[in-house]
């Protein structure tokens, strides 16, 4: 773990990290998050086979998450633009009121794809919220976190 902020120069000004000297390696990341929609919404979704007025809640949220991951550098100011090799989003109803969203990303690059995985989960979660908010505003997005990353200087796995 670094003992300094990589996105700040010696005077404390924001900067983009220079990755030009880093080796191109296979980088992967997995992030997850949860959306609690409540038992009433989940029951209605299951009865409707997860389809709402705008279409399939899970399919549209999955596509939105992939689109979000691909646009991470446009959303997070100092992220390097990456052409993702892979972005998979899985959305599973895990109990009577919640979804688990998992985003797996990979790229051959000089920098990692953690932010892309986290953005994918975030956008998918926000899309579930958007598609269900007419039924209730009492929806909670929670625990968006990096689960693992591989490649580059160090690997990480949440236990």
The helix (H) or strand (E) run that includes residue 117 is helix 114-132
Candidates 151, 154, 155; CA nearest to 109 is 151
CB–CB of 42/131 below 8 Å?
no
Active-site residue identified among 9, 95, 130, 138: 130
The Cα–Cα gap between 15 and 80 comes to: 12
With vertex at residue 68, the alpha carbon angle to CA 46 and CA 44, rounded to the nearest 5 degrees, is 10
130 is catalytic: yes
User: Residue 109: enclosing H or E segment and its boundaries?
Assistant: strand 98-109
Quote the distance between the C-alpha of residue 125 and its chain's center.
Answer: 9
> Which residues belong to the active site?
130
């Amino acid at each position: 773990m670094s003992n300094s902020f990589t996105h700040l120069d010696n005077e404390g000004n924001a900067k983009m990290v220079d990755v030009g000297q880093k080796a191109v390696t296979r980088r992967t990341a997995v992030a997850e998050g949860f959306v609690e929609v409540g038992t009433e919404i989940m029951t209605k979704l299951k009865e409707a086979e997860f389809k709402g007025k705008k279409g399939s809640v899970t399919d549209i949220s999955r596509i939105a998450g992939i689109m979000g991951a691909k646009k991470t550098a446009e959303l997070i100011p100092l992220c390097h633009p990456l052409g993702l090799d892979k972005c998979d989003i899985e959305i599973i109803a895990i109990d009577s009121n919640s979804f688990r969203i998992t985003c797996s990303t990979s790229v051959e690059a000089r920098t990692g794809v953690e932010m892309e995985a986290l953005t994918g989960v975030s956008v998918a979660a926000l899309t579930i919220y958007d598609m269900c908010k007419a039924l209730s505003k009492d929806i909670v997005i929670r625990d968006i976190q990096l689960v693992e990353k591989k490649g580059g200087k160090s690997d990480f796995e949440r236990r």
